[in-house]
Amino acid sequence: MSIALRAQITIDLLAEDFVRAADHQRRIETLMGAIKDAYQEAELEFRERRPRPPRRLRPERAVRHHAEALAAYEEL
């Protein structure tokens, strides 16, 4: 029986500019080299994360009570 595993490392970084971001990226790529020596199929992916705008909540909708719906039906 085989067991499939996925290992994931997450590193969230803040960089003040593109130069410092590139420095972080190079450092991580160097560290990834050691991982690839042991696990050739290892992959590295970088994504730029942008802050999301705050979520706006919908105003509450008036909920019609079930009894009102029944009363309206009986009037017909």
User: Tell me: the pLDDT tens digits for 19-41?
Assistant: 999 999 999 999 999 999 999 99
pTM for this predicted structure: 0.60
* Interval 70-76 mean pLDDT: 57
Least Cα distance to 25 among 11, 38, 37 occurs for: 11
Q: How far apart are CA 59 and CA 29, in angstroms?
A: 47
Specify the amino acid at residue 36.
K
